[in-house]
Amino acid sequence: MEKYNVTLHRIIAASPEKVFRAFADADAIASWHPPYGFLCKVHQFDFKVGGMYKMSFTNFTTGNAYSFAGEYLEIVPNQLLKYTDKFDDPNLPGEMITTVQLALVSCGTELRITQTGIPNVVPAEMCYLSWQESLEKLKKLTEPNIPDA
C-alpha cells in the first residue's frame, strides 16, 4: 500500500510553552485535536518518551468511531514532539510518524507539523482539511489570554 506525507505550517499568537502544553495535556488534546464534527475520547495518555497513548474520534452525525494509538518517540519541551500513530482498523495499515516543531517568533509560536506514512486510502485533501480544522481549534484554545478572576 502506497503512503504519502503532509506538511503544515502556522503562526499562533501564543507562547511555545502554551502551545506545547496543548499537546502535552490529555484534556486539551481532546478539545482541539478532532476535526469539526468529531468528538474525541482519550483512553490512555502517558506523555513521556516511550509512553503510549490511545484515543478515538467519533463522528457526531453518524456515531461511527475510529481509534488509533501510538508511542512518544521524542519530546523536547516547548520545541519538539515526535510520535507514532497506528489505526486500529486493519484497512488502514502501517504506522505514521508525526513531528511537531515549535519555535519562538516575535508574535508567538511558529508551528511546523509533518506527518509521514499516511495510508493512501485516506485522501490527501481530507488529511489536510482535518489538520487545518484541528489547528484552527488549537489556535482558539491557546491564543486567548484569560486571567484568573
Spell out the domain ranges in the chain.
3-142
- CATH classification of 3-142 is 3.30.530.20, yes or no? yes
Residue 1 has pLDDT above 60, yes or no: no
Distance (Å, whole) CA 68 – CA 39: 14
* Cell numbers standing for residue 146: 484569560
How is the beta sheet containing 80-87 ordered, strand by strand?
3-12, 108-119, 96-105, 80-87, 65-76, 52-59, 38-45
Contact between residue 64 and residue 58 where contact means Cβ atoms under 8 Å apart: yes
Residue 2 has pLDDT above 70, yes or no: no
Task: Determine the 3-state secondary structure of 70 from DSSP.
Answer: strand
pTM listed for this prediction: 0.93
Helix ranges restricted to H, the chain: 16-24, 26-32, 124-142
| Average pLDDT of the residues of the chain | 95
pLDDT the model gives residue 139 = 98
Residue 119 has pLDDT above 70, yes or no: yes
Contact between residue 12 and residue 19 where contact means Cβ atoms under 8 Å apart: yes
8-66 residue pLDDT tens: 999 999 999 999 999 999 999 999 999 999 999 999 999 999 999 999 999 999 999 99
Residue 142 has pLDDT above 60, yes or no: yes
